Structure 1
Amino acid sequence: MTAMSDREIVSALKYVSRMKPSFMLSELRDYTKDEVSTADVYRIVEPLLDETGLRAVPEGEDYRIERLPKPAPLALGKEELERVQTFFKAPRVPRKLERLIENYVERKTHRQYDDPAVLEKLRQAVQAQKTQYWKEGKARKIDYSSGYSVLGYLAYQFPVYFVQFQHVLHDLATDGLLKDRIKVLDIGTGPGTVPLAIVDYYNRLDRAEATVYSLEKYDENIEAYLTLVPEYAGQKGRVRIEKPVKADLMEKPPVPDGIDLMVFSNVLNEIDAPFDAKVDAVVELASHLAPDGNIVIIEPADKENSTRMRRLVRRLLDKGLGIYSPCAFIWCDKCKADMCWSFEEKDDIQPTGLMKKLADTEESYKYLNTDIKFSYAILRKDTLTREKYRVPRRASYMRLAMLKKHVEKRLNVVAAVMSGDLGDKKDHVFKICDGTPAGPTYAMLAQYNVKPDNEALLKAKYGDVLEFENVLVRYNKENDSINLLVSKGSIVSPAGAEENEE
Structure 2
Amino acid sequence: MSDQRDAVRSNAKYLRNVRPVDPEEICEYIEGNPHPAVVRQLLREEAASLGLLEQDDETFVPVDDEPVEPNRGPVERVPETYERRLEDLLVERYGVNWHEDATGDLLRSTIRRFKASYLERDPVEYDEDVAAGYAIYHLPGYYAAVQYALDDLAERGLLGRRLRVLDIGAGVGGPALGLCSYLPDDALLEYHAVEPSAAADVLESLLEETGRNVHATIHRSTIESFDPTDVVGEDGGDEGGNSDRFDPTAPDDGFDLILAANVLSELEDPTAVARDALEWLAPDGTLLAMAPADKNTSTQLRAVERDLEDDRVWSPAQLGAAEDGARERGESDDGDRPEAGGTDGRRDGDGDADRRGLVTVYGPTVRLWPGERPTDRGWSFDARPDLEVPSFQRKLDEATPGDDEEHAPGEFVNVDVQFSSSLLRLDGTRRIDVALETSDWAKMAEMERHVTNRIDIAAAKLSRSLSEDENSGYDASSTNPLFKISDGSESTDHYAVLTSETSLNRPLLEAEYGEVCTFEQVLALWNDDEEAYNLVVDEQTIVDRIG
The interval holding the TM-score normalised by the smaller chain is: 0.7 to 0.9
For residues 269-292 of structure 1, the C-alpha deviation after alignment (integer angstroms, 9 at most, x for no partner) is: 122x13xxx223222222232222
Match of 1:49 among 33, 47, 50: 47
User: How far apart are residue 217 of structure 1 and its match?
Assistant: 1.0
Aligned equivalents of 1:98, 1:29: Cα separation in 2: 40
* Alignment partner, residue 132 of structure 2: 151
Superposed, 1:317-336 pairs within 5 Å as 317-319=309-311, 320-336=358-374
Match of 2:189 among 202, 206, 210: 210
Letter in 2 for 1:269: S
Match of 1:294 among 259, 278, 286: 286
Aligned equivalents of 2:150, 2:2: Cα separation in 1: 39
**1:312 aligned onto 2:304:** yes
Superposed, 1:371-390 pairs within 5 Å as 371-390=416-435
Aligned equivalents of 2:52, 2:186: Cα separation in 1: 17
* Alignment partner, residue 426 of structure 1: 479
Relative distance call for 1:414 and 1:134 in structure 2 (3 A) is: same
Match of 2:210 among 230, 233, 245: 233
Contact 1:185–1:213 (Cα < 8 Å) also in 2: yes
User: How far apart are residue 161 of structure 1 and its match?
Assistant: 1.0
* Alignment partner, residue 266 of structure 2: 270
3-state DSSP class of the match of 2:299?
Answer: helix
For residues 322-381 of structure 1, the C-alpha deviation after alignment (integer angstroms, 9 at most, x for no partner) is: 111112211113424451111111111222222223333542353232221111011111
Contact 2:194–2:223 (Cα < 8 Å) also in 1: yes
3-state DSSP class of the match of 2:277?
Answer: helix
Letter in 2 for 1:441: H
Aligned equivalents of 2:63, 2:217: Cα separation in 1: 25
Aligned equivalents of 1:325, 1:473: Cα separation in 2: 26
Letter in 1 for 2:201: E
* Alignment partner, residue 499 of structure 1: none
* Alignment partner, residue 352 of structure 1: 390
3-state DSSP class of the match of 1:243?
Answer: strand
- Structure 2 spans left out of the alignment, 5+ residues: 233-247, 249-253, 312-357, 401-406, 469-477
* Alignment partner, residue 173 of structure 2: 192
Contact 2:64–2:186 (Cα < 8 Å) also in 1: no
Aligned equivalents of 2:425, 2:256: Cα separation in 1: 10
Letter in 1 for 2:455: L
Aligned equivalents of 2:10, 2:413: Cα separation in 1: 57
> 1 or 2, which has the higher strand percentage?
1
Relative distance call for 1:490 and 1:117 in structure 2 (3 A) is: same
What is the root-mean-square deviation in Å for CA atoms of aligned residues? Answer: 2.6
User: How far apart are residue 456 of structure 1 and its match?
Assistant: 1.3
Match of 1:71 among 54, 65, 74: 65
Aligned equivalents of 1:281, 1:147: Cα separation in 2: 26
- Structure 1 spans left out of the alignment, 5+ residues: 1-5, 497-502
Letter in 2 for 1:233: T
Relative distance call for 1:48 and 1:480 in structure 2 (3 A) is: same
* Percentage identity across paired residues of the two chains: 27
Q: State the TM-score, normalizing by the size of structure 1.
A: 0.84
**1:12 aligned onto 2:7:** yes
Superposed, 1:95-494 pairs within 5 Å as 95-136=80-121, 140-144=122-126, 146-202=127-183, 205=184, 207-218=186-197, 220-230=198-208, 232-234=209-211, 236=212, 239-254=213-228, 255=231, 257=248, 258-271=254-267, 273-274=268-269, 278-319=270-311, 320-337=358-375, 339-360=377-398, 361=400, 362-392=407-437, 394-395=439-440, 397-424=441-468, 426-446=479-499, 449-494=500-545
Contact 2:63–2:161 (Cα < 8 Å) also in 1: no
Relative distance call for 1:100 and 1:58 in structure 2 (3 A) is: closer
For residues 34-91 of structure 1, the C-alpha deviation after alignment (integer angstroms, 9 at most, x for no partner) is: 78544444555543332233455575xxx6454x256222346xxxx6xx52x53xx1
User: How far apart are residue 406 of structure 1 and its match?
Assistant: 3.2
Relative distance call for 1:39 and 1:429 in structure 2 (3 A) is: same
Letter in 1 for 2:168: I
Paired residues, number: 460
* Alignment partner, residue 23 of structure 2: 25
Contact 1:345–1:420 (Cα < 8 Å) also in 2: yes
Contact 2:110–2:130 (Cα < 8 Å) also in 1: yes
Relative distance call for 1:178 and 1:384 in structure 2 (3 A) is: same
Aligned equivalents of 1:193, 1:304: Cα separation in 2: 21
User: How far apart are residue 404 of structure 1 and its match?
Assistant: 2.4
3-state DSSP class of the match of 1:402?
Answer: helix
Q: State the TM-score, normalizing by the size of structure 2.
A: 0.78
Contact 2:64–2:161 (Cα < 8 Å) also in 1: no
Aligned equivalents of 1:18, 1:158: Cα separation in 2: 39
Letter in 1 for 2:480: D
Contact 2:146–2:175 (Cα < 8 Å) also in 1: yes
User: How far apart are residue 200 of structure 1 and its match?
Assistant: 2.7
Contact 1:252–1:285 (Cα < 8 Å) also in 2: no
Aligned equivalents of 1:312, 1:337: Cα separation in 2: 12
Contact 1:92–1:349 (Cα < 8 Å) also in 2: yes
Relative distance call for 1:228 and 1:342 in structure 2 (3 A) is: same
3-state DSSP class of the match of 2:107?
Answer: helix
Letter in 2 for 1:436: S
